[in-house]
Structure 1
Amino acid sequence: MISVTQAKPSQDPIRSHCEMLHGLAEGIDGKLVVSVFFAAGGEGTISHHSIGDVDGMVAEISAHSDTPGANVYCGLQIMRKSLGRGERGGKDDVVAVLGLVADMDGDTGKTGDLPFAPSYTIETSPGNQQPVWLFDNPLTPDEAKPLAAALQRATGSDSGTKDIAHVWRIPGTKNWPNEAKLKRGRSPDAASVQYAQEWDGELIPLDAFRTALAPWAVAPASEAVPVQLGELPDAGDVTVSDKAAALLAANDVDDRSKHARAVVEQLNFDGHGAEEAAALFLAATGNWLDRYANEQRARTDFERVWGKEVARREEKREAAARLAGGLKGANDNVAGADADGDGAANVSTTGVAFVATPYIPADPSTLPRREWLFGNHYIRKYVSVTVSPGGLGKTSSSIVEALSMVSGKPLLSPEGGLLPKRLKAWLFNGEDPRDEMVRRIEAARLHYKLTAEDIGDRLFLDVGRERELVVLIEDRKAGIKINEPVVEAVVKQIKDNEIDVMIVDPFVSTHQVNENDNGAIDRVAKLWAKIADRANCSVDLVAHTRKLNGEEATIDDVRGAGSLIGAARSVRVLNRMSREQANLAGVPEMDVAEHFHIAIAKANMTKQDSRLAWRRLEGVGLGNGDGISKPQDHVGVVTPWKFPSKEATAEKAASEVTADQLEKILVRLKNQTSAFARNSSSWAGFHVMDALGLNRESKDGRDEAAKIIGGLIADGTLVVKQEEDHRRHKANVVRPRPE
């Protein structure tokens, strides 16, 4: 509430107005500006007044209140303290807005109904009024802009209503008409600026005002205007997405007009400015551009479509979002936050109301595709999670994936051909020193025969031992808070270097909150999601599992709180090869630890794929040794590995049976009726186990026998045939192939 005692408006309207402004502005780091302009034109005067300087402001206004031809103004906005002497300031100089005004000019027809009762109303001249709404809390410029635009639409008032830097007349001064007003029939005599309704000292709840203006939050189509283009760049210097390139080069489309709109919308979605987009549009190679008789017509249509179909849609979304409180930074409600970056503390915000945002139907065929960057795990603007037990190969796996991205070569799926384009990747490792990470990267480069040119300037590496990457911290006094300098630096680095993918290993190193607190981990995960969105990149968070005691890891085994999984769009789990899988694949026990598989455990944006992608760690020598006493380092490099088919493993197992063992098997199967079915008490595999000395009670032994039976059938040594038993029941039995 106001802390300055106010004079009664009817007794001293100028002082009353000044006391009101300074009282509302108390505590804000800025200043008020008084402007004097003359009706006949010419140079006016501008004066700045610190918050609390009521007497100085009253004296300045009063000095001109009776000057012939002098119109005196002061806005309801607080300007930045560093505003230059003699400058009135504009929208970019506003640090806080105390209230809004509707400029209702009866002589121009700019009048309408009021959506909310005003705090007070000023009559600026006969038939012309300015209703004023003073809020219980000052607004930031970003909060004020959509409200001012909505107020202008709601009241049908003059365009000055939606300008948060607009200046307004002061009660107790004179309104001298300029030449334009005289032409409209105004009297040349000055009109007194006076209260039509005085202020009773009450302030308007901001939430209630927002709610009242909700129906006017969205701009109607009639407000859309063609974009005004500046100088266009060379289209050849502009990089385009694959989707945009395909649209620009399309030929023989069914509806050229519809296709032109799709091109414009895709270019806007990709983040191109109007000039870049126009240059690409006009340089399109597809014959859809032939719909325009000449370049000027194409340019004119681009300006229209960009303004109407794109800019208007963005304004709708932004206006509705901001009116409802907006998608604001996680600590925007902290008092003193420097939101506009000018070094001055801005006004703190309070709780805001929510409004329903109208859905705008769209043509599905024109919607941009999700931008998958690598496989079905990395997607631009989203967070993915990789869950893995320790010591399995997750870091090496991430390194090889990053090398595949930057080189454009399908290192882990060689049959897939080259990748669509090379990407830029940033590896951050919070556990290992730089020299160890360099060893791993160079070992992978050696194994896959990647040259320095294959890597180029597209790979970035940082480690936590040199500089920690902590985005969220927990302080005993302040609680959980965002580490803003680090977050902003990460976003800036990704943007400046045009990085496509960032891999953070491990996730736990990026925060200092209780990892078992679901709420805290949810904030960390969503903060990374916000970073991905702001920086227009994909972020993969590598997370450890809890202690598994030999069990296979699942999505539920992520270490700490499970809210990390909920925030990710794609989650994959790494697991070491099990003994059963090793037996089926014919992998010797001593080599089992080298094999692991990757399974997609959560896929919100693709069809769930239950197939396993197998990997194998292969040791690679770095060649950095010096004789026998100082041998070279060997580093494990992740390579693709295919799980053998049943036929292949069976044939391998059968080939390892000795001639003597095979003779024993064939004799027994010839002389005894042996069932093909494994669950039979007379299963043929038992004869194999006996011949090889395997334990009939061992599952591993039975698995081995099954593979040998399968291999001997596959190579034609054995056959499966139907025979009748003594009760004339038919059954499948295994026999040596007849000679």
Structure 2
Amino acid sequence: MARDANDILRENGEANLRERIDGTRQTGGRGRETILGEWDAGDDTNPVPPRQWLLGNVFCRRFVSSLIADGGTGKTALRVAQALALATGRNLTGEYVFQRCRVLLVSLEDDKDELRRRVKAAMLHHDVSEAEVKGWLFLAAPGGKAGKLMTPGDKGRVTTAGLAAALKQTVQRRKVDFVCLDPFVKTHGLSENDNSLMDQVIEFLANLAIEMNIALDVPHHTAKGSANPGNADRGRGASAIKDGARLVYTLTTMSDDEAATFGVPPADRRLYVRVDAGKVNIAPPAAAAKWFRLVNVALGNGNDLYPGGDNVQTVEPWAAPGTWEGLTDELVNRILTDIDAGTGDGELYSAASSATSRAAWKVVQKHAAKKTEKQCRDMVATWVKSGLLFKETYRSPGTRKDQEGLHVDDMKRPGKVGT
């Protein structure tokens, strides 16, 4: 006589095996708790808690963030200023502070004195006193003595190391809300080009953020190549680094073209940096780049040997002048009327980049003197594309040849019904 499944279960001493195979066990509560952890959405009637943002859409509890930038761009200066904003509860960087936080800045690249210089520069520039950050801002520059978060183990296995335990202990003891480990490459002793290994590091960081209920940030260096704002793939090493983080931004120095657009002298271009969303999985991307200006701060720490002391960079928010900022309908219509009238000697204005005496952008700048040539050219190009300005072939009295000039479609002027 064939034995049924129950006979086999009893013989093996596994009377509850069927329940385990089904993946369920009774919890004594509502429904069943499972090995997988799934639940019935129909029973999920409790309110869903909001995400716990700390600073703008940059730092959030239980998530890993990162800022990807070339060396010398101002990455650390920006993170120090943002950390100071959290520690003081003050909007120092143009980003909303949801709550004042206890902050732990861990420099894995600079020594103690250099970290102190960076923090002191930000405090001086933003008028923050030591009393204001006492009990709220904690600094660490452990060097090699703290070890790494993760290192290679026996037989190719990865193990957690001394930095992990030290970090947990400090977060608990200081009741820290936000941790910045700068830079990411110094947090581990593994090959940064190995996707599997980097995935384990990022997973460890993500689990740590959840376990400790903190926001965790790991600024990251870029690979070699041209700067590309908003491109999270610029980061060094394996793609798992940017794939595992949830809030990834890029920091890029102002380009020559942007400097021309904003009227920034070429010599000052590198003092302006833009932050773009490279990968923001849990917040909508910003409609435009966020700009900052690098500022040199004199620390006043001179002595007999170095009487000048140090000058250290920090950042302050900077508003890029908009192309259309300050242009009323009345002013735009005056500009359009002058373009439509031509140069006064029978010639019409031109939108061509090679135009000189007939260049329409010069008419724009005559009425809006603070606009740069690039901004004025962009306005003319926008009006041509929209049909507000249209090209017409006419006989030039100067060259006695046919050429193109600009006229205005009066039905598309600003202020007209339907425009």
Closer, same or farther: CA 583–627 of 1 in aligned 2, 3 Å: farther
SS, match of residue 523 in structure 1:
helix
The residue aligned with 1:669 is 343
Q: Does 1:213 align with 2:105?
A: no
Give yes or no for contact 1:673–1:682 (8 Å, CA) kept in 2: no
Match of 2:335 in 1: none
The alpha-carbon deviation at position 535 of structure 1 amounts to 1.1
**CA deviation after TM superposition for structure 1 residue 573, in Å:** 0.7
8 Å CA contact 1:115, 1:212 repeated in 2: no
Paired residues of 1:469 and 1:509 also in contact (CA < 8 A): no
Q: 2-side partners of 1:368 and 1:389: how far apart?
A: 37
Does the CA contact (< 8 Å) of 2:199 and 2:241 recur in 1? yes
User: Is residue 109 of structure 2 the alignment partner of residue 428 of structure 1?
Assistant: no
The letter for the 2-side match of 1:474 is P
- In structure 1, the partner of 2:215 is 538
Which residue of structure 2 aligns with residue 369 of structure 1?
Answer: 50
8 Å Cα contact 2:350-2:405 kept in structure 1 = no
Q: Would you say the 8 A contact 1:501–1:537 is kept in 2?
A: yes
TM-score of the superposed pair, with normalisation by structure 1: 0.45
Hey, what does 1:565 align to over in structure 2? 242
**Alpha-carbon distance change, 721 to 384 in structure 1, aligned in 2, over 3 angstroms:** closer
Q: Deviations over 1:53-77 (max 9, x none)?
A: xxxxxxxxxxxxxxxxxxxxxxxxx
Alignment correspondent of 2:174 = 497
Q: In the alignment, residue 271 of structure 2 is paired with which amino acid?
A: E
Would the aligned equivalents of 2:103 and 2:136 in 1 still touch at CA under 8 Å?
yes
Q: CA deviation at 1:498?
A: 1.5
| Corresponding position of 2:408 | 732
1:585-610 CA distance string (max 9 Å, x none): 00001111111010111121122334
Which of 149, 166, 180 is 1:471 aligned to?
149
Aligned pairs (5 A) from 1:62-101: none
Aligned partners of 2:50 and 2:392: how far apart in 1?
61
DSSP-derived class of the 1:618 partner: strand
Which residues of structure 2 form unaligned runs of 5+? Answer: 328-341, 364-371, 382-387, 396-403, 410-419
CA distance in structure 2 between the partners assigned to 1:491 and 1:537 by the alignment? 11
How do 1:34-113 residues align onto structure 2 when only pairs under 5 Å count?
Answer: none
Q: Deviations over 1:181-239 (max 9, x none)?
A: xxxxxxxxxxxxxxxxxxxxxxxxxxxx3x6434472436xx34xxxxxxxxxxxxxxx
CA distance in 1, matches of 2:82, 2:7: 58
Query: How much does 1:434 deviate?
Result: 0.9
Q: Which amino acid aligns with 1:587?
A: V
Say yes or no: does 1:119 pair with 2:11: yes
1:412-423 equivalent positions in 2, closer than 5 A? 412-413=93-94, 419-423=97-101
In the other structure, the counterpart of 1:393 is 74
Amino acid at match of 2:374: D
Matched residue SS, 2:157: strand
Deviation at 1:638, TM superposition (A): 0.8
On the 8 A contact 1:426/1:461 being kept in 2, the answer is yes
Per the TM alignment, residue 361 of structure 1 is displaced from its structure 2 partner at its CA by 3.0
What are the Cα deviations for residues 639-687 of structure 1, in whole angstroms up to 9, with x where unaligned?
100101125699xxxxxxxxxxxxxxxxx93325233534696883289
Secondary structure of 2:165's match? helix
The 8 Å contact of residues 431 and 464 in structure 1, kept in 2 or not, is answered as: no
Contact kept? 2:147, 2:162, Cα under 8 Å: no
**1 CA distance for matches of 2:391 and 2:48?**
63
Cα gap change, 1:215 to 1:630, in 2 (>3 Å): same
Q: Could you tell me which residue of structure 2 aligns to residue 84 of structure 1?
A: none
Match of 1:600 in 2: 277
Q: Which residues in structure 2 correspond to 1:223-622 (within 5 Å)?
A: 223-224=28-29, 316-317=32-33, 320-321=34-35, 357-363=38-44, 366-413=47-94, 419-465=97-143, 467-475=145-153, 477-549=154-226, 554-622=231-299
Partner-residue secondary structure (3-state), 1:516: coil
8 Å CA contact 1:500, 1:538 repeated in 2: yes
SS at the partner of 2:128?
Answer: coil
Counterpart amino acid of residue 703 in structure 1:
K
Q: Secondary structure at the match of 2:143?
A: coil
Structure 1 stretches of 5 or more lacking a match?
A: 1-112, 121-131, 134-150, 155-208, 225-311, 325-355, 651-667, 690-700, 711-719, 734-739
CA RMSD of aligned residues (A): 3.8
Are residues 1:703 and 2:377 paired? Answer: no
Amino acid at match of 1:612: A
Partners in 1 of 2:391 and 2:90 — Cα distance? 55
Higher relative contact order (CA 8 A, sep 6+): 2
2:320 alignment partner, one of 630, 635, 643 = 643
Structure 2 CA distance for partners of 1:485 and 1:627, relative to 1, 3 Å: closer
1:533-588 Cα deviation digits (max 9, x unpaired): 11111111111001124665721111010111111111111111000000000000
The TM-score, its normalising length taken from structure 2, stands at 0.77
State the alpha-carbon separation in 2 of the partners of residues 118 and 406 from structure 1: 62
Change (3 A) 1:648 1:473: same
Mapped to 2, the partners of 1:707 and 1:729 lie a distance apart of 17
Instruction: Indicate the structure (1 or 2) with the bigger Cα radius of gyration.
Output: 1
Q: Secondary structure at the match of 1:731?
A: strand
Amino acid at match of 2:351: A
CA distance in 2 between counterparts of 1:557 and 1:401 reads 22
Q: Per the alignment, in what secondary structure is the counterpart of residue 490 of structure 1? A: helix
Residue aligning to 1:685: 359
The question of whether the paired residues in 1 share the 8 Å contact of 2:147 and 2:161 is answered with no
Quick check: 2:102–2:136 contact (8 Å CA) kept in 1? yes
Report how far residue 706 of structure 1 moved.
3.1
| Shift, 1:421, TM fit | 2.4
Looking at structure 2, the residues matched to 510 and 596 of structure 1 have their Cα atoms a distance apart, in angstroms, of: 26
8 Å CA contact retained: 1:388, 1:553: no
- Alignment CA distance shift 1:551-1:409 (3 Å): closer
Q: Distance in 1 between matches of 2:284 and 2:141?
A: 35
User: CA separation of 1:522/1:459 partners in 2, compared to 1, >3 Å: closer, same or farther?
Assistant: same
CA distance in 2, matches of 1:722, 1:472: 64
Partners of 1:518 and 1:391 in 2: CA distance: 27
C-alpha offsets along residues 471-528 of structure 1, whole Å, 9 cap, x if unaligned?
Answer: 11124x4323222543233223212322111111110101111111111111111111
User: 1:387-444, CA deviations, whole angstroms, 9 ceiling, x for partnerless residues?
Assistant: 1111100001110000000100000118x5xx34210111111111110110110111
Sort the Cα spacing of 1:625 and 1:674 in 2 relative to 1 into closer, same or farther, 3 A: farther
Tell whether the 8 Å contact from 1:385 to 1:570 is kept in structure 2 after alignment.
Answer: yes
Separation in 1, partners of 2:47, 2:290: 34
Shift of 1:611: 1.7
Q: Is the 8 A contact 2:64 2:215 kept in 1?
A: yes
Q: Which moved more, 1:477-486 or 1:562-571?
A: 477-486
Distance 1:404 1:579 in 2: 31
The secondary structure found in structure 1 opposite 2:66 is strand
Distance 2:309 2:38 in 1: 64
Q: CA deviation at 1:119?
A: 3.5
Contact 1:685 1:705 in 2 (8 A): no
